[in-house]
Protein backbone atom coordinates (compact mmCIF):
# COMPACT_ATOMS: atom_id res chain seq x y z
CA UNK A 1 0.00 0.00 0.00
CA UNK A 2 1.30 3.42 -0.91
CA UNK A 3 0.13 6.85 0.24
CA UNK A 4 1.25 9.95 -1.63
CA UNK A 5 0.84 13.34 0.07
CA UNK A 6 0.57 16.30 -2.33
CA UNK A 7 1.04 19.82 -0.96
CA UNK A 8 -1.06 22.27 -2.95
CA UNK A 9 0.82 25.55 -3.12
CA UNK A 10 0.42 26.76 -6.69
CA UNK A 11 -1.95 24.14 -8.13
CA UNK A 12 -5.59 23.89 -7.17
CA UNK A 13 -7.13 20.62 -6.01
CA UNK A 14 -8.91 20.44 -9.37
CA UNK A 15 -5.69 20.89 -11.37
CA UNK A 16 -3.79 18.35 -9.27
CA UNK A 17 -6.66 15.87 -9.51
CA UNK A 18 -6.72 16.17 -13.29
CA UNK A 19 -2.95 15.59 -13.44
CA UNK A 20 -3.12 12.56 -11.15
CA UNK A 21 -6.21 11.19 -12.92
CA UNK A 22 -4.42 11.42 -16.27
CA UNK A 23 -1.40 9.57 -14.87
CA UNK A 24 -3.63 6.95 -13.22
CA UNK A 25 -5.48 6.21 -16.46
CA UNK A 26 -2.13 6.12 -18.27
CA UNK A 27 -1.04 3.40 -15.83
CA UNK A 28 -4.15 1.38 -16.71
CA UNK A 29 -5.83 1.95 -13.34
CA UNK A 30 -9.22 3.31 -12.27
CA UNK A 31 -9.55 6.15 -9.79
CA UNK A 32 -12.01 7.04 -7.07
CA UNK A 33 -12.04 10.77 -6.24
CA UNK A 34 -13.47 11.48 -2.78
CA UNK A 35 -14.41 14.89 -1.41
CA UNK A 36 -14.36 16.60 -4.78
CA UNK A 37 -15.69 20.13 -4.94
CA UNK A 38 -18.31 21.37 -7.34
CA UNK A 39 -15.72 22.43 -9.91
CA UNK A 40 -14.07 19.00 -10.22
CA UNK A 41 -16.30 17.79 -13.04
CA UNK A 42 -15.44 20.78 -15.22
CA UNK A 43 -11.73 20.57 -14.39
CA UNK A 44 -11.56 16.93 -15.49
CA UNK A 45 -13.04 17.94 -18.85
CA UNK A 46 -11.03 21.14 -19.34
CA UNK A 47 -7.60 20.76 -17.71
CA UNK A 48 -6.26 18.50 -20.51
CA UNK A 49 -8.56 19.09 -23.50
CA UNK A 50 -6.40 16.85 -25.68
CA UNK A 51 -7.06 13.90 -23.33
CA UNK A 52 -10.36 12.26 -22.53
CA UNK A 53 -10.62 11.88 -18.76
CA UNK A 54 -13.92 10.01 -18.69
CA UNK A 55 -15.62 10.35 -15.33
CA UNK A 56 -18.95 10.50 -13.59
CA UNK A 57 -20.65 10.81 -10.23
CA UNK A 58 -21.13 7.84 -7.92
CA UNK A 59 -24.91 8.26 -8.02
CA UNK A 60 -25.12 7.88 -11.81
CA UNK A 61 -26.71 4.77 -13.35
CA UNK A 62 -23.41 3.70 -14.94
CA UNK A 63 -21.07 4.47 -12.02
CA UNK A 64 -19.45 1.04 -12.27
CA UNK A 65 -18.25 1.77 -15.82
CA UNK A 66 -16.53 5.07 -15.00
CA UNK A 67 -12.72 5.04 -15.13
CA UNK A 68 -12.80 8.05 -12.76
CA UNK A 69 -15.59 8.10 -10.20
CA UNK A 70 -16.48 11.18 -8.13
CA UNK A 71 -17.89 10.09 -4.77
CA UNK A 72 -18.66 11.43 -1.31
CA UNK A 73 -17.03 8.42 0.39
CA UNK A 74 -14.54 5.61 -0.22
CA UNK A 75 -17.01 3.20 -1.86
CA UNK A 76 -15.47 2.33 -5.24
CA UNK A 77 -18.42 1.26 -7.36
CA UNK A 78 -16.05 1.38 -10.35
CA UNK A 79 -13.63 -1.16 -8.85
CA UNK A 80 -10.87 1.45 -8.49
CA UNK A 81 -7.66 0.38 -6.80
CA UNK A 82 -6.52 4.01 -6.47
CA UNK A 83 -8.25 6.64 -4.34
CA UNK A 84 -7.69 10.38 -4.33
CA UNK A 85 -8.79 12.42 -1.31
CA UNK A 86 -9.32 15.84 -2.86
CA UNK A 87 -10.53 17.74 0.21
CA UNK A 88 -7.45 17.25 2.40
CA UNK A 89 -9.30 14.99 4.83
CA UNK A 90 -7.80 11.55 5.48
CA UNK A 91 -10.17 8.59 5.68
CA UNK A 92 -8.89 5.28 7.05
CA UNK A 93 -10.96 3.45 4.40
CA UNK A 94 -8.31 4.63 1.93
CA UNK A 95 -5.98 2.00 3.41
CA UNK A 96 -8.02 -0.71 1.64
CA UNK A 97 -6.83 0.60 -1.77
CA UNK A 98 -3.52 -0.20 -3.46
CA UNK A 99 -2.64 3.50 -3.60
CA UNK A 100 -4.01 6.67 -2.04
CA UNK A 101 -3.37 10.31 -2.90
CA UNK A 102 -4.00 12.95 -0.22
CA UNK A 103 -4.16 16.50 -1.52
CA UNK A 104 -3.73 19.16 1.15
CA UNK A 105 -3.09 22.87 1.45
CA UNK A 106 -2.35 25.31 4.27
CA UNK A 107 -5.82 24.89 5.75
CA UNK A 108 -5.46 21.10 6.03
CA UNK A 109 -1.69 20.91 6.59
CA UNK A 110 -1.91 20.06 10.31
CA UNK A 111 -4.21 17.11 9.62
CA UNK A 112 -1.96 15.88 6.81
CA UNK A 113 1.06 16.12 9.13
CA UNK A 114 -0.76 14.10 11.80
CA UNK A 115 -1.76 11.50 9.20
CA UNK A 116 1.83 11.30 7.94
CA UNK A 117 3.08 10.57 11.45
CA UNK A 118 0.33 8.05 12.22
CA UNK A 119 0.80 6.15 8.96
CA UNK A 120 4.52 5.91 9.65
CA UNK A 121 3.66 3.16 12.13
CA UNK A 122 1.75 1.05 9.58
CA UNK A 123 3.62 -2.07 8.47
CA UNK A 124 3.98 -2.48 4.72
CA UNK A 125 2.96 1.08 3.95
CA UNK A 126 5.06 3.38 1.80
CA UNK A 127 4.66 7.16 2.24
CA UNK A 128 5.77 9.83 -0.21
CA UNK A 129 5.63 13.61 0.00
CA UNK A 130 5.32 15.68 -3.19
CA UNK A 131 5.69 19.42 -3.71
CA UNK A 132 5.20 21.39 -6.90
CA UNK A 133 8.21 23.25 -8.32
CA UNK A 134 8.14 25.08 -11.65
CA UNK A 135 4.87 23.36 -12.55
CA UNK A 136 6.17 19.82 -11.90
CA UNK A 137 5.60 17.54 -8.94
CA UNK A 138 8.90 16.76 -7.25
CA UNK A 139 9.25 14.02 -4.66
CA UNK A 140 10.77 15.42 -1.48
CA UNK A 141 13.39 13.53 0.50
Under a CB-based contact definition with an 8 Å cutoff, are residues 25 and 66 in contact? no
pLDDT digits over 77-87, tens only?
A: 999 999 999 99
pLDDT digits over 98-124, tens only?
A: 999 999 999 999 999 999 999 998 999
pTM, to two decimals: 0.95
User: What backbone torsions phi and psi does residue 39 show, to the nearest 5 degrees?
Assistant: -95, 0
* pLDDT for res 133: 87
The CA distance from 41 to 131, in Å, is 24
Sheet holding 82-85, edge to edge: 55-57, 68-71, 31-34, 82-85, 99-104, 2-7, 126-133, 136-139
pLDDT < 50 regions, the chain = none
Amino acid sequence: MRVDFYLLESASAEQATAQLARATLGAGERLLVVGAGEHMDRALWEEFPQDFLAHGPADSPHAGRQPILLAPDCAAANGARYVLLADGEWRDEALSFARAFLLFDDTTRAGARDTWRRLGNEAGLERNFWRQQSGRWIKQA
